[in-house]
Amino acid sequence: MFSFFKRKKQETPVPEPVAPNVPAPAPEPIPEPAPASVATAAPIALDAGELFPETAERPTTEAEKKQSWMARLKAGLSKTSNNLSLLFVGARIDEDLYEELESALLMSDAGMDATQHLLDALRRKVKEDKLLDAAAVKAALKELMVELLLPLQKPLELGRHEPLVMMISGVNGAGKTTTIGKLAKHMQREDQSVLLAAGDTFRAAAREQLMVWGQRNNVTVISQASGDPAAVAFDAVQSGKARGVDVVMVDTAGRLPTQLHLMEELKKIKRVIGKGMDGAPHETLLVIDGNTGQNALAQVKAFDDALQLTGLVITKLDGTAKGGVLAAIARTRPVPVYFIGVGEKLDDLQPFDAEEFVTALLG
Q: Which residues are annotated as a binding site?
A: 170-177, 251-255, 315-318
CB atoms within 10 A of CB 40: 11
Residue 100 φ/ψ, nearest 5 degrees = -65, -35
Q: Which of 200, 87, 187 is nearest to 141 (CA)?
A: 87
Where do runs of H (alpha helix) occur along the chain? 62-76, 78-85, 95-107, 111-128, 134-149, 176-189, 206-217, 229-243, 260-276, 294-307, 325-332, 354-362
CB atoms within 10 A of CB 78: 18
Q: Which of 185, 240, 188, 253 is nearest to 213 (CA)?
A: 185
CB atoms within 10 A of CB 271: 13
Q: C-alpha angle with apex 360: 66 to 148, nearest 5 degrees?
A: 110
Indicate the burial class of 162 (C-beta count within 10 angstroms; 0-12, 13-18, 19 or more): middle
Q: What is the DSSP annotation of 29-75? A: ----PPPPEEE--------TT-SS---S----SHHHHHHHHHHHHHH
Q: Which of 1, 175, 145, 152 is nearest to 81 (CA)?
A: 145
End-to-end CA distance of the chain: 21
CA distance 137 to 20: 61
Q: Which of 282, 251, 242, 273 is nearest to 159 (CA)?
A: 282
CA distance 80 to 324: 8
Query: Which residue positions form the known binding site for GTP?
Result: 170-177, 251-255, 315-318
Q: Do the Cβ atoms of 301 and 116 come closer than 8 Å? A: no
